[in-house]
Structures are given as C-alpha cells and as structure tokens.
C-alpha cells in the first residue's frame, strides 16, 4: 500500500518533466494544465480530515507550485513560425 501511494505522488511529477521534453509544445501545454489540475485535486482530497500540520503545509506548498505550473502553461506564448 505504501509503495502504491508513493508512486501515485511521485510519478506525475517525473512524467511531467519527461513529457515536457518529448511532446510538441501545444500537446505539452494541454498535458501540463490537465495533469497539474488533477494532481491538485488529488492533493486537496488527501488533506481532508488530516490533522498533521506538517502534512498540510507541505500540501499547500505543492498546490501553490502546481497553480504556478498550470498558469505558466496557460500563458505560455505560442511558438514562432520559422520562415514566415
């Protein structure tokens, strides 16, 4: 159970970095927005009923960083077309 929980929280971050290098810019933008929003939801849901302040603070930091990722992906300029 612990390994499964760890993988659920570690894999999305690793995959976001790898996919950012492999995907085309438009697809990467959509993936970053969708994954960051889904990951935010999973973090917020896991905080329900939690009383450990350290866990809540860490989750808050994670959610804030994911908001910045989604915002950056949303506002990222379109790639310039070469030879225009």
SS3 category, 33: helix
Residue-wise pLDDT tens digits, 10-23: 887 788 889 889 99
Q: What number is the average pLDDT over the span 5-10?
A: 79
Distance CA 51, CA 70 (A): 28
Q: How open is the CA angle 43-30-56, to the nearest 5 degrees?
A: 15
The residue written with tokens 């077309």 in the block is: 81
Q: What pLDDT, in 10s, does the model give residues 31-83?
A: 889 988 998 998 999 899 988 898 899 999 999 999 999 999 999 887 777 76
Q: Which helix (DSSP H) or strand (DSSP E) does residue 47 occupy?
A: none
What's the rounded Cα separation, in Å, for the pair 20 and 22?
6
Whole-number pLDDT of residue 83? 66
């Amino acid at each position: 159970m612990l390994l499964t929980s760890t993988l659920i929280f570690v894999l999305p971050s690793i995959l976001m970095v790898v996919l950012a290098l492999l995907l085309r810019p438009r697809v990467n933008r959509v993936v970053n927005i969708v994954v960051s929003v889904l990951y935010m939801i999973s973090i917020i849901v896991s905080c329900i009923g939690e009383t450990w302040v350290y866990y809540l603070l860490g989750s808050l930091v994670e959610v804030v960083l994911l908001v910045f990722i989604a915002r950056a992906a949303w506002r990222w300029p379109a790639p310039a077309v070469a030879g225009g």
